Every structure is written in structure tokens, then in C-alpha cells.
Structure 1
Amino acid sequence: MTVTLADVAARARVSPATVSRVLNGNYPVAATTRDRVLRAVDELDYVLNGPARSLAAATSDLVGILVNDIADPFFATIAGAAQTAIGEGASGIGGGEKLAVVCNTGGSAERELTYLTLLQRQRAGAVILTGGALEDPDHTAAMSVKLAKLAAAGTAVVLCGRPPMPDGPGTATLSFDNRDGARRLTEHLIALGHRRIGYIAGPAQRTTTRHRLEGHRAALAGAGLVDDEGEGESEERGWKRLTVYGSYERRSGYDAARELLRRDPGLTAIAAANDTVALGACAALREKGLRVPEDVSVAGFDDLPFSVDAIPALTTVRLPLHEAGVRAGRLAMGTEAPPPGDVAMIGAELMARASTAPPPAA
């Protein structure tokens, strides 16, 4: 059932004219009254009605790009490429130039929903959500409802770098094959002869973290390496013991590598959640007097621009971030046809470089 201006007025205990004044900002209203009206708008999930022409055309010239951290090269690359594609396809939705706004959520579930609500109120022409999703049932349900409302109102919704939403509410999805990339990376380390491999995971309850960790452990299982709950006495045990969670920041990699060395001073390789984390791990190893890769091999993920220039050059998994961002922008503008079934899996490529080598001789 559509929520009306009168419904908001009743909830806020004010007149419809007062609600209109608050939402249009064209008349002074007491702060307490304004807060009460805006709270009612949020509670009822009210969206401003526009002229019928605007409804039919879906909307405004606004395009929202949601990122976890714009300072992270992963998100900056995708957002920059998407914004470029949006500018190139300005004649797509309704014609004319589009205003692409980058919304930095800081990884907050609440901010993610708040930005989507604000974009919904502004009748955004398109919304692009980037990066892994939070694995929380309540948040997933709320996101599904919110994205369905956006899509129903004519907003193009694109997911880039995250899995499809359950019962996908009219979204186009570009997912990275994080599992396969992580599996191939760990298989590379195993093929070099490593058996004592530490793993620095990303934040818990994120789809990207879980998928990459699943790929890593699939490679260990494929090589016959058992985890903490496996049977038999083996120095190769310890999937869980040699897994440390953290953020996608350099400091996290530094701290996690120190913790892994504390847990197993004899480990010979570290696989990191991303390239920034891998550089932090390298710094911790150097501080301990260990050489990369002569004493400990280090590998990252994403193939961020600095990876090939690191010393030694970083072994990593390449995700086509720029290409994915361009594609997301074109999907948002309607200048590229949606993939079959509205979902495309984007492959990952192993980039073997100088930071990995066979383990030191016993």
C-alpha cells in the first residue's frame, strides 16, 4: 500500500501542509516539529510524490554509488570507472547529464540503508552498490525490501563485486569469483612446497571474506591438509589456528602477521585478504628480521595498482576492477544489456610474482 503525505501527517501529528513545508524546505518550521516529521517519514518509508512524467521516466538525474571506503583503491577504482561510464552514457536514462554521487558507508549497515533511503527520496535514476555484503539476516531482509522499492519506482539497481540478493529484486549483478581466485592462490603456494600457511582474512560477516576463506580452505583440503578438528597427529594441522580476521587495512596486515608468527614461528607463507593487508604483513616480517620470499612467502588479492611496484613485486589475484566499474556504470545507464539471468560471474586471474618462492630448506 502506497504511503501518502496524509499518512505522514497523521503519524507526526501535524497538518499535511506542515509536512509539505518540512520536505520542501520553503517555510520555517520549529526544530521539534521538523524532527517529528522526518522521523515519521523514516518510519513509514515515505517517498515524495513527483509529477506523473517524473514517475514514468523514473526519476531524477542523480546516480548514487555506494562504497565501503573511498580511500581504499579497490573501491576508488570501481567508483571512478563507473562514474566515467555514467558520464559517457549521459543520454541513457531520460537523456542529459547525470550527477554521480559517491556515498561512503564506512562499512556500516545503518549508513548503507540510510543512503539508499536518501537516494530513494531523491528518485535517483540509478544506484550502484559495490563490494561485499554484510551477512546479517535482518540487514539482508531490509536491503531486499529497500532495493525492491527502488527498482519498482524505476531506479536501475546494480550490484558490483557482491553476490546476488536473495530473490533478486530487479537488480543486475556483477560478482567476482573470489572463491576460485583464493583457491588458485593457495594452490600456487602449495605447489611451491608450502605446508604451513597463515591466512589473514577480512572482516567477519562479509561475503567477500567468507568466499575467499572458503577458496583458501578448499585448496588446503584438496592437498590433504587437515584442520584443527581433523584426525591424526600432523604439523600440517591448523586451518583455524592459522587464520586471523581483520580489516582491509595495512595496520591489520601488520598486526595479523605478528599474531600468526606468535602462533606458529615456523610458518613459511602468508596469504592475505587483499594487497594492502599483504604489504602490512611484509612490514611485520621485515621487522622480525625475516626476508620475503626467502624466509616467508607473501601473497595478496585484487592486484591493486601498487602491487607490481612493491619490492618484491607482490604475487596476487587480479580482479578486473576498472572493467567491472565501467560495466556497472553502463548497466546503470542502460547502455549495456543486463547479463543472462541478471547475474554475471567475473573471473579472477593468478598473478605469480617475486613475493612467493619455495620454502627454505629444512
Structure 2
Amino acid sequence: MPVTLVEVAARAGVSPATVSRVLNGNYPVAESTRQRVQQAVRELDYVVNAHARALLHSTSGIVGVVLNDASDPFFAGIARGIQGAAAETSRLSVICNSEGDPEQEFAFLELLRGHRADAVILVGAAPEDPEYLAEATARAKGMLSHGTRLVLCGRPAPGEDAPGAVVEIDNAGGSAAITRHLLDLGHRRIAYITGPDGRTTTTSRLAGFRSALAEAGVELAPDLVVHGDFSREAGRAGVERLLAADADFTAVLAANDLVAAGAVHALRAAGRRVPDDVSVAGYDDLPTAVDVWPNLTTVHVPLEEIGRKAVELAFGPSDQDSVVTVPTALVPRESTAAPAAG
């Protein structure tokens, strides 16, 4: 039989109410009393009944986290920040991997609402499809009506009337900054390998690239924009496509560091030196950026800080800013240099 709160109280020589105060941490208790209760909990191997606590306090202590790809270091970094911040307030993070499938994402939202999650954090780029945005707005309203707060991480709100908070990444600003870095080095023929089409992150990063070129008076060459996804394979295939078309370029800007790593591999396989013949830059500042040689010039995205900010918005005052933009920073490394003469 499971140990009860009453048994813990008897072992510690206090009332059940005192045990509850110690376990909940919501009422001042003398340190000596706290230590006796904690010792009794350890000796009896007492485990708090989460379902009973939820019924009593109208809160489950659950933070639902829905990721596009749990194996991707970008999402893992944000999840680490969410889990750390949630654990500091004795909340349990439940990680769900949607594989970027909108239907699976909505299914997880329903499951988490059924488990009375206190908050749900959606992480990753969202489809720009009008039907998806309408459905996402409806789901957000339904969750709020059942007491679940919604936070969007790395994606904009699906509609002006969609409830919930947003942690935005300055994707356009970061992409413009790294493009200006290449332009300042003297590059004018810059190839760009995008993320998946129809995704908010892809659109923002490509927009930053375009705007920086326009500011510098450099015409965007359509043949230098290669569409892919956020994988290493996309970087390899993108460079091979450019080389097969005999495209003229002195630098490659990739949608993220994994794509950039694939680009470096393909250039080397073709006998091109990085950065002597072709400069390569990425985005996100993942561990991959310093595993690749030469180390990648990239844009630092503070992933754990983003996760922590999402938890802060989920459980902070309801009148605080509903949209927070997290800045990015250029990180120049050895993979970029001035183009070779001629």
C-alpha cells in the first residue's frame, strides 16, 4: 500500500497540514520542522499523489512541450531551457515530438489539454497555410477556456485574435547581419540554401538575406537560391546542384549550421577549399558549428534562454508583454574570408 500523508505526519511528529506546507513550499515552516518532515519522507519513501494535488489545487504541475524534432540540437537546446526552468518550480515537463506534422501537433495539444496541463509551449517554425493558422487559433482559444496557457516559441501568433504569449527569435535581423558580414568581406555572388518552403523560420531568414543584399545595392541572383530543408543532406545536395549548374559564387549562406556542415562537405568533395575558394556561413550556433573544420561563422541563438523565457511567460503575470523578441548575435569564425583575387 502507498504511504499516506498521515503516516508521514506521524513519523515526523507534526500535523498533516504541516507536512503539506513543507511539500508545497507555500507557507513558512521552522527549519527544524522542515528537516524532520523531509527525513520522514525519505525514510518512508513517500511520493506525492500528483492527481490528488491537481484536484485540490486546480493545477496539474505539467508543462507540455511540443517540438518539431526532438533529435535536432536546436530544439533540444530550447527544451533544456524549458525543463530547467519548469523543474525549478517543481513542474514536470512532458516532451512531445510532432515531426513537423500539423495533425500530430494538434493531437498532442488535445492530449495535453486532457491531462490538464498548466501550460503548453509550441516550439519551432509553423506552416504558413491559412487553414492551419485558422485551426491553430481555434485550438489556442479552446485551451485558454480550459485553463491551459499557450506559449509559442520561435513562431509568430497564428492570428491577431489568438490568445497566448510569443517568444520570437530575430531571424530576419540575424540573417541580415551575417549577410552584411559576407558583403563587408567583399562577396557579391552569395548562394543561399533555404530551409523548408512554407515555414515561418525559412521565410524570415530568407527575408533578412534579401534585405541586406538590397541595402548594399547587390542584385539577388535567382539561380543562387537553392531550396532545401534544415538537414546536413540539404546542404550537400544544394552545393552539388550549384556546382552541376556551373553557378558563379564565392560564398554560401546556409539556413542553419547543419545545412552549412553539409555544404562544407560537398565543397571539399569537389576540391573547393573553405574559405580560400568559397566561404561558408550558417545559423543557430549549434555544437556542429565548432565540430566542423574550419569552424563555422554563424549567428548565435540563445536556445536555453528562449526556453526559460517561454516558461516565464507561461507562469508570469497575465498583463506582462505577450510578445518577447530574443536578439541574435553574429559569431565570425574561420569559415569565412575575403574572396580570392580574380
What's the TM-score, normalizing by structure 2? 0.81
Please name the residue that 1:86 is paired with.
86
- What are the within-5 Å matches in structure 2 for residues 332-343 of structure 1? 332=314, 334=315, 336-337=316-317, 340-343=320-323
1:19 matched residue in structure 2: none
Q: Is this contact kept in 2: 1:197–1:270, CA < 8 A?
A: yes
Q: Which residue of 1 aligns with 2:42?
A: none
Task: Say whether 1:348 aligns with 2:328.
Answer: yes
- Whole-Å Cα distance in 1 between the matches of residues 115 and 338 of structure 2? 56
Aligned equivalents of 1:263, 1:224: Cα separation in 2: 25
Which of 104, 116, 125 is residue 132 of structure 1 equivalent to?
Answer: 125
SS of equivalent to 1:157: strand
Identity among equivalent positions (%) equals 46
User: Secondary structure of 2:243's match?
Assistant: helix
The within-5 A match list for 1:38-53 is none
Residue 255 of structure 2 corresponds to which residue in structure 1?
273
Name the CA shift for 1:159/1:58 in 2 (closer, same or farther; >3 Å): farther
Q: Distance in 2 between matches of 1:118 and 1:172?
A: 20
Matches of 1:338 and 1:264, distance apart in 2: 56
Give the aligned residue type for 1:166: G
Output the CA distance in 2 between the equivalents of 1:56 and 1:273. Answer: 48
The alignment yields a C-alpha RMSD, in angstroms, of 1.9
1:294 aligns with 2:276: yes
Q: Please list every run of at least 4 consecutive aligned residues from structure 1 whose deviation after the TM superposition is greater than 3 angstroms.
A: 53-59, 336-341
Change (3 A) 1:299 1:357: same
- The answer (yes or no) to whether the contact 1:89–1:330 under 8 Å persists in 2 is no
Counterparts in 2 of 1:84 and 1:181: CA distance versus 1, 3 Å? same
* SS, match of residue 355 in structure 1: coil
Q: Do the aligned partners of 1:151 and 1:169 also contact (CA within 8 Å) in 2? A: no
Go from structure 1 to structure 2 and tell me whether the alpha carbon gap of 1:161 and 1:55 turns closer, same or farther (over 3 Å shift): farther
Write the distance in 2 (CA, Å) between the matches of 1:339 and 1:181. 29
Residue 107 of structure 2 corresponds to which residue in structure 1?
114
What is the aligned residue count? 291
Separation of aligned partners in 2, 1:193 and 1:74: 30
Q: Once the 2 structures are TM-superposed, how far is the Cα of residue 101 of structure 1 from its aligned partner? A: 1.1
Further displaced range: 158-167 or 293-302: 158-167
The 1:296/1:89 distance shift into structure 2, 3 A limit, reads: same
Corresponding position: 1:243 with 2:225: yes
Quick one: which amino acid aligns to residue 302 of structure 1?
D
Aligned-residue offset at 1:306? 3.0
**1-structure distance, mates of 2:74, 2:259:** 12
Q: Helix, strand or coil for the counterpart of 2:223?
A: coil
1:125 is displaced (CA, Å) by 1.2
TM-score relative to the length of structure 1: 0.76
Give, as a single letter, the amino acid of the residue that structure 2 aligns with 1:181: G
- Cα shift at 1:169: 3.0
Q: Flag structure 1 segments of 5+ consecutive residues without an equivalent.
A: 1-50, 91-97, 228-237
Structure 2: which amino acid aligns with 1:84? G
The gaps in structure 2 that reach 5 residues or longer are: 1-50
Give the CA deviation at 1:331.
Answer: 2.8
User: What is the distance in 1 between the residues matched to 2:268 and 2:193?
Assistant: 17
* 1:102 equivalent in alignment to 2:95: yes
Stretch deviating more after TM superposition (169-178 or 258-267): 258-267
Contact 2:190 2:253 in 1 (8 A): yes
